[in-house]
């Protein structure tokens, strides 16, 4: 079996296991409970991590290109993204994230960080859509779906915004590094 076929096979198996575990969660806890909402989000995050690690898609879609209004990040401030970032620091997520993905002032490291924003954003987007669909189709009111909605915003929507906020910054730094390297090469050639 080729590596690609094996990766797809494991990904399909992981998807089936995740669906079964979601159904078990659905039977154990009511869909409107905090425990169901929390467990569902983290179960889907685990599933996505397995699948994305195995399949390694390019993610060079135009969707991931920063839009003109995102370049400066002003509108993220109005959405409370800086407050959310402080929350991540307070709960220790920033420390864990930096241990797993240290940021160094090297082009290869920054390119990896920029790619990780696309990986993370796609995962949170897929999970947000799944959780939203569950909230719409398996609850009969906003009150019943409150935990699905609240946790979807905190665990998926704000992380999507955070990745979209960070990506232009990584790209800007990389462009400056490339320009500086180009200038240094030009100076060497002129000597």
pTM, entire model: 0.88
Indicate the burial class of 62 (C-beta count within 10 angstroms; 0-12, 13-18, 19 or more).
exposed
User: Which residue from 66, 88, 89, 76 is spatially nearest to 155, judged by alpha carbons?
Assistant: 88
Query: How does pLDDT run along the chain (191 residues), one tens digit per residue?
Result: 566 899 999 999 999 999 999 999 989 999 999 999 999 999 999 999 999 999 999 899 999 998 888 878 888 988 999 999 999 989 988 878 777 777 777 888 889 889 999 999 999 999 999 999 999 999 999 999 999 999 999 999 999 999 999 999 888 988 888 887 766 776 676 76
């Amino acid at each position: 079996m080729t590596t690609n076929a094996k990766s797809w096979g494991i990904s399909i198996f992981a998807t089936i296991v995740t669906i079964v575990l979601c159904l078990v969660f659905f039977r154990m806890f009511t869909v409107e409970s905090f425990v169901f909402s929390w467990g569902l989000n983290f179960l889907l995050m685990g599933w996505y991590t397995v699948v994305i690690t195995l399949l390694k898609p390019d993610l060079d879609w135009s969707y991931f290109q920063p839009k003109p209004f995102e370049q400066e990040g002003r509108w993220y401030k109005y959405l409370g993204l800086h407050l959310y970032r402080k929350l991540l620091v307070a709960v220790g997520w920033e420390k864990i994230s930096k241990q797993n993905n240290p940021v160094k002032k090297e082009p290869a490291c920054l390119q990896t960080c920029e790619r990780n924003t696309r990986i993370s954003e796609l995962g949170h987007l897929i999970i947000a859509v799944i959780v939203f669909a569950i909230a719409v189709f398996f609850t009969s009111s906003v009150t019943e779906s409150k935990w699905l909605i609240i946790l979807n915003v905190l665990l998926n929507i704000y992380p999507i915004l955070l990745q979209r906020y960070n990506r232009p910054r990584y790209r800007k730094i990389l462009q400056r590094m490339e320009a500086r390297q180009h200038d240094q090469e030009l100076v060497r050639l002129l000597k």
